[in-house]
Amino acid sequence: MKILVTGANGFLGQQLTLYLINKGYSVIACSRGACRISGKHLFQYYSIDLTDEVAITAMVLEVKPDSIIHSAANSKPDDCDTNKEGCLLQNVEATRFLLQACKPYNTQFIYISTDFIFGENGPHSEDNTPAPLNFYGESKLRAEQLVINSGLLYAIVRPVFIYGPVLEGMRPSFLHWVKNNLEQHKPIKVVSDQQRTPTFVLDICKGIETIIEKKAEGAYHLAGKNILSPYEMAVAVANFLGLDAALIENVTSDTFIETVQRAKRSGLTIDKARKTLGYEPVSFEEGVQLTFN
Ligand SMILES: NC(=O)c1ccc[n+]([C@@H]2O[C@H](COP(=O)([O-])OP(=O)(O)OC[C@H]3O[C@@H](n4cnc5c(N)ncnc54)[C@H](OP(=O)(O)O)[C@@H]3O)[C@@H](O)[C@H]2O)c1
């Protein structure tokens, strides 16, 4: 079974590529830049810009994937807001090109979306009405709609605030930012008036594997099971690593000038994934241990 992973150099993409290889799948990875994933001899890699329709069509024709996991995106809300045209090209048009290229091969299409397609009053279930508060969320919602209307067997996976071990070549996650600052005895300000359901990266990988195997269709929230604020997450990191939690200042969102609106009460419920996929994520406490051990 051939699985094509887009955005394979990214935080989720790298973990997903290595996870699926370990599980014995034949993985073809692609991303815009040169390959930054370890174990390059274990998989085929395409360096490709997904805004280039011709290049996508040629790659898909060569690979003929049974499943595709489309993880590539501009996932930075501030960037998306300042460059709306570029964001639409990267997040929406690239998805359209991939869907068109996959059509002749009946590829199972798994789209990685986000809780940002919803507004306030989370945690949200799959049945809630989308109401994005910023252009990043809007672009991801538009891409979801293309996927739903594609005629392909599809699944939309929505994680929240992904964290986990940082492999070589990856950007540090929020948890590592906390660790690095506290290790250097630097005080940090972290907001306590936002709530999320942080997702351990390997839980998403397992959930996606089940979606592939069961050929599950529709939207699935693959998030964590605990509702936490970034401040609570930072304190949990400090406590686990034996660092000084007093260096973490508890602040509210209005401390920072934010150009892009973000939900205060976000997060996703996972009842559907539990029932239909047998999805059971680790607790945040366990996730922190797995991240740093
Ligand atoms: N991180 C989170 O907390 C979070 C939460 C909810 C949902 N998500 C969603 O999950 C997915 C993965 O997120 P992530 O944090 O792993 O993202 P990430 O680290 O920013 O990685 C995204 C990857 O996409 C690739 N990419 C971007 N534009 C491309 C293009 N035009 N052509 C080819 N490749 C392109 C980049 O490749 P290069 O590095 O090679 O340029 C990058 O490595 C995204 O779809 C995001 O919307 C993330």
What's the CA-to-centroid distance between 110 and ligand 1, angstroms?
Answer: 14
Ligand 1, atom 42, residue with closest C-alpha? 10
In ligand 1, the atom with minimum distance to the C-alpha of 13 is 16
Q: Does residue 274 fall inside a structural domain?
A: no
Q: Does residue 275 fall inside a structural domain?
A: no
Residue 157 pLDDT > 90: yes
Please give the pLDDT value at position 167.
87
Mean pLDDT in residue range 173-186: 97
Q: Does residue 208 fall inside a structural domain?
A: yes
Ligand 1, atom 18, residue with closest C-alpha? 10
Residues enclosing ligand 1, CB less than 6 A?
Answer: 7, 9-13, 31-33, 49-51, 71-75, 90, 94, 112, 114, 140, 159-162
233 and 90 in a common domain: no
What lies within 8 Å, CB to CB, of 104 at 6+ separation is none
Bridge partners (DSSP) listed for residue 124: 268
7 and 124 in a common domain: yes
Instruction: Please state, in angstroms and rounded to a whole number, the distance separating the CA atoms of residues 36 and 165.
Output: 15
Task: Select from 4, 19, 35, 75 the residue to mutate for testing ligand 1; criterion: most ligand atoms less than 8 Å from CB.
Answer: 75
Q: With DSSP H G I counted as helix, E B as strand and the rest as coil, what are the percentages for the chain, rounded to 5?
A: 45, 15, 40
Q: Does residue 277 fall inside a structural domain?
A: no
Please give the pLDDT value at position 39.
87
Indicate which CATH number applies to the domain containing 73.
3.40.50.720
Indicate which CATH number applies to the domain containing 257.
3.90.25.10
- Containing structural domain, residue 102: 2-162+199-221
Task: Select from 4, 9, 30 the residue to mutate for testing ligand 1; criterion: most ligand atoms less than 8 Å from CB.
Answer: 9
In ligand 1, the atom with minimum distance to the C-alpha of 161 is 3
180 and 134 in a common domain: no
Please give the pLDDT value at position 21.
97
236 and 110 in a common domain: no
Please give the pLDDT value at position 77.
97
In ligand 1, the atom with minimum distance to the C-alpha of 136 is 47
Ligand 1, atom 19, residue with closest C-alpha? 10
pTM above 0.85, yes or no: yes
259 and 119 in a common domain: no
Please give the pLDDT value at position 258.
85
List pLDDT tens digits, range 223-265.
Answer: 999 999 999 999 999 999 999 999 999 999 999 988 899 999 9
What is the percent of the chain where pLDDT is above 90? Answer: 95
182 and 287 in a common domain: yes
Average pLDDT in the chain: 97
132 and 43 in a common domain: yes
Given the structure tokens 């990267």, which residue do they identify?
Answer: 90
156 and 176 in a common domain: no
In ligand 1, the atom with minimum distance to the C-alpha of 70 is 45
105 and 6 in a common domain: yes
Instruction: Please state, in angstroms and rounded to a whole number, the distance separating the CA atoms of residues 203 and 131.
Output: 26
What's the CA-to-centroid distance between 13 and ligand 1, angstroms?
Answer: 7
150 and 9 in a common domain: yes
pLDDT band at 122 (very low <50, low <70, confident <90, very high): very high
Residue 172 pLDDT > 90: no
In the numeric block, which tokens belong to residue 93? 């048009």
180 and 206 in a common domain: no
69 and 140 in a common domain: yes
Distances (CA, A) of 222 to 121, 122, 133, 237, 292: 18, 15, 21, 22, 22
Say if CB 209 and CB 216 are below 8 A apart.
Answer: no
Please give the pLDDT value at position 171.
82
What's the CA-to-centroid distance between 80 and ligand 1, angstroms?
Answer: 13
What's the CA-to-centroid distance between 75 and ligand 1, angstroms?
Answer: 6
* Total tally of structural domains belonging to the chain: 2
What's the CA-to-centroid distance between 9 and ligand 1, angstroms?
Answer: 8
